[in-house]
């Protein structure tokens, strides 16, 4: 069993406070959001209301923000029903401290969804998702999981495949929606759906950005206002390369970004320019080149990517 999962099997999941809130929400007939905490209750509900209808699925780890809202809205536009999962998945964290500090605010998340559109929320415990005897789905990920996020977060994408496959197995959606900010993750989920012959359409949605270009992220909640301002260097560096790329080769552009970060308080972890399909490094600019970047603002790790076209 994954060591992080073993450690958090009894610590994570819906709390008594959350269960109480779910009960009070479900008895409110005016609520646009219905919350389910068990696989059986969710599947029973979907079998009643969504038979022969389109179902969109938006997987989240909570700490919802405008980026998640854009995914929910995309699902609502394309599908008859939208299921949003709120589950902090322990198997995709290679750093136990990062898991502990991951922001959690279930009531705030529900309030945001209530203000958005009608949704079905699935907020299971760890035991519900990974019961005793659970056998994780696995696949060979190749280069896409060996560089950038794969290199600096070993085992992360194995956890992503495991949990997303499990949720797709439970929800059986016709569509599932992911943000393009997590470019490697989106690529892997598309490959997973193809490899396992899943009858679901994986939809990539444009990165939602805050004022100045900062990519919307749950981790932004851990930033001070000063750090949010300084974190703009992630997007600004990529955007500057995009605008000035005729002056540099991709290799030279990497060195330029490293120079720009020397005057920043953020610690650059990586900057890569890759083909967005193969994730191979590029030696010249193409229509499929993406710039991908990760950096630390204090203890908070942030990432971003943009197309270089």
- Tell me the catalytic residues: 68
Helix axes 66-78, 106-114, angle to 10 degrees: 40
The neighbouring-strand residues paired with 294 are 270, 303
Which residues lie below 8 Å from residue 46, measured CB to CB, with a gap of 6+? 55, 81, 83, 120, 171, 172
Q: Which of 61, 10, 14, 95 is nearest to 167 (CA)?
A: 61
User: Which residues fall within 8 angstroms of residue 248, CB to CB, at 6 or more apart?
Assistant: 241, 256
3-state secondary structure of 51: coil
Residue with tokens 């068990």: 38
N residues, the chain: 309
Cβ proximity of 218 and 88 under 8 Å: no
Cβ atoms of residues 268 and 255 within 8 Å: no
Task: Tell me how far apart the alpha carbons of residues 308 and 113 are, in angstroms, rounded to a whole number.
Answer: 33
List the one residue out of 245, 260, 247 whose CA is nearest residue 293: 260
Closest-CA residue to 83 (of 199, 218, 173, 201): 173
Give me the half-sphere count of Cα atoms (radius 13 Å) on the Cβ side of residue 219.
Answer: 18
> 286, 307, 305: which is closest to 148 by C-alpha?
305
In angstroms and rounded to an integer, the radius of gyration of the C-alpha atoms of the chain is 20
Q: How far apart are CA 120 and CA 108, in angstroms?
A: 16
């Amino acid at each position: 069993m994954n060591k992080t999962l073993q450690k958090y099997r009894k610590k994570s999941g819906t709390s008594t406070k959350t269960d109480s809130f779910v009960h009070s929400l479900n008895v409110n007939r005016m609520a646009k959001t219905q919350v389910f905490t068990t696989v059986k209750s969710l599947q029973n509900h979907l079998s009643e209301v969504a038979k022969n209808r389109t179902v969109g699925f938006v997987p989240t780890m909570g700490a919802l923000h405008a980026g998640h809202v854009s995914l929910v809205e995309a699902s609502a536009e394309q599908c008859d029903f939208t299921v949003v999962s709120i589950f902090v998945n322990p198997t995709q964290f290679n750093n136990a401290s990062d898991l502990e500090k991951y922001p959690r605010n279930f009531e705030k998340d529900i309030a945001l969804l209530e203000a958005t559109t009608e949704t079905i929320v699935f907020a299971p415990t760890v035991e519900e998702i990974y019961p005793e005897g659970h056998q994780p789905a696995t696949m060979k990920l190749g280069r896409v999981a060996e560089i950038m996020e794969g290199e600096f977060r070993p085992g992360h994408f194995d956890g992503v495949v495991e949990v997303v496959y499990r949720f797709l197995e439970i929800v059986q959606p016709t569509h599932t929606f992911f943000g393009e900010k997590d470019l490697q993750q989106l690529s892997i989920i598309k490959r997973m759906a193809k490899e396992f012959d899943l009858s679901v359409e994986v939809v990539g949605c444009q990165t939602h950005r805050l004022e100045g270009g900062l990519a919307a992220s749950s981790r932004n909640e851990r930033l001070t206002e000063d750090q949010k301002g300084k974190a703009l260097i992630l997007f600004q560096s990529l955007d500057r390369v995009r605008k000035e790329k005729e002056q540099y080769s991709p290799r030279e552009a990497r060195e330029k970004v490293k120079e720009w970060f020397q005057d920043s308080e953020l610690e650059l972890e990586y900057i890569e320019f890759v083909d967005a399909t193969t994730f191979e490094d590029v030696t010249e600019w193409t229509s499929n080149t993406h710039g991908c970047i990760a950096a630390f603002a204090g203890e908070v790790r942030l990432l971003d990517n943009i197309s270089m076209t």
